[in-house]
């Protein structure tokens, strides 16, 4: 099955700085990589995603990059704001051998210090 | 559209008991997936149901089971509860149009289960 490693587990940045979260996956059959944001006490919500045929995707202050060869993808948040403080989860959608599954990393707790 | 709902939101049980959690998906969504969330372990996939059939299963013991009804509502059951089963249980629904292609999952608020 797929295995997703996520680093760092905690990240503190000053407001206005950039934050980068990195994930690696194990199975080359994975073809879709979403990122979820979970604020304290709330449900995870999709913030950005990328498909395996795309190298980079941006949405305002958030961007995701994918390196298929190295099997890693990253979330970049620029000009961080206090409301960006949350736990971020990367995930890889594995599709193969009759099995279809979304595997999550263990999460990164981002704290943005005002 | 109403979002994914889960009941109950909080539950306290003792070891050895069993529990049933419920998930109502977004209208029109036919796939429901269940996840266990614990601190430090992230979200771990339990199983997915589509059109009343279990389509995928994670690496959890047989004490964890589920089912889906014709209206796509799903239930998850945990028998012989253990202390380690304490967690937030999240369900997520999606269109589930076709196996192999990804459909965005929308999460419910979760059920917080505490086993004493």
Tell me: the pLDDT tens digits for A74-107?
999 999 999 999 999 999 998 766 667 889 999 9
- Cβ distance A95 to B102 less than 8 Å, yes or no, reads yes
CB-based contact, A32 to chain B, within 8 Å: yes
Residues from chain A contacting residue B45 (CB–CB below 8 Å):
101-104
Chain A residue closest in CA terms to B111: A43
Mutate to test the interface with B, among A4, A25, A43, A97 (most CBs of B within 10 A): A43
**How confident is the model over A14-32, as a mean pLDDT?**
94
Q: Is the dihedral of CA B6, B61, A99, B42 positive or negative?
A: positive
Distance CA B29, CA B90 (A): 16
**What is the pLDDT, as a whole number, of residue B15?**
97
Six-digit token string for A36: 């979820």
CB B31 within 8 A of CB B103: yes
Which tens digit of pLDDT belongs to each residue from A32-49? 999 999 999 999 999 999
Q: Binning pLDDT at 50, 70 and 90, where does residue B40 land?
A: confident
**How confident is the model over B31-56, as a mean pLDDT?**
91
**What is the pLDDT, as a whole number, of residue A53?**
86
Distance CA B105, CA A72 (A): 22
Q: Binning pLDDT at 50, 70 and 90, where does residue A12 land?
A: very high
- Cβ distance B43 to A43 less than 8 Å, yes or no, reads no
Residue B100 has pLDDT above 80, yes or no: no
**How confident is the model over B5-13, as a mean pLDDT?**
97
């Amino acid at each position: 099955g797929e295995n997703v490693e996520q680093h760092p587990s905690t990240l503190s940045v000053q407001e206005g700085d950039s934050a980068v979260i990195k994930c690696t996956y194990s199975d080359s059959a994975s073809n879709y990589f979403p990122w979820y944001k979970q604020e304290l006490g709330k449900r995870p919500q999709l913030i950005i995603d990328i498909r395996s045929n795309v190298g980079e995707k941006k949405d305002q202050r958030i961007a995701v990059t994918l390196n298929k060869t190295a099997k890693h993808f990253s979330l970049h948040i620029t000009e961080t704001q206090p409301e960006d403080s949350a736990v971020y989860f990367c995930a890889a959608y594995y599709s193969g051998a009759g099995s279809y599954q979304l595997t999550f990393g263990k999460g990164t707790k981002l704290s943005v210090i005002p | 559209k109403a979002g994914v709902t889960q009941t109950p939101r909080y539950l306290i049980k003792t070891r050895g008991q069993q529990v049933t959690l419920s998930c109502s998906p977004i209208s029109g969504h036919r796939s429901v997936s269940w996840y266990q969330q614990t601190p430090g372990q992230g979200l771990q996939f339990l199983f997915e149901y589509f059109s009343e059939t279990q389509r995928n299963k994670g690496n959890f013991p047989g004490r964890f089971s589920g089912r889906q009804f014709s209206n796509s509502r799903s239930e998850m059951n945990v028998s012989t509860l253990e202390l380690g089963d304490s967690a937030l249980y999240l369900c997520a629904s999606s269109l589930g149009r076709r196996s192999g292609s990804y459909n965005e999952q929308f999460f419910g608020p979760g059920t917080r289960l505490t086993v004493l």
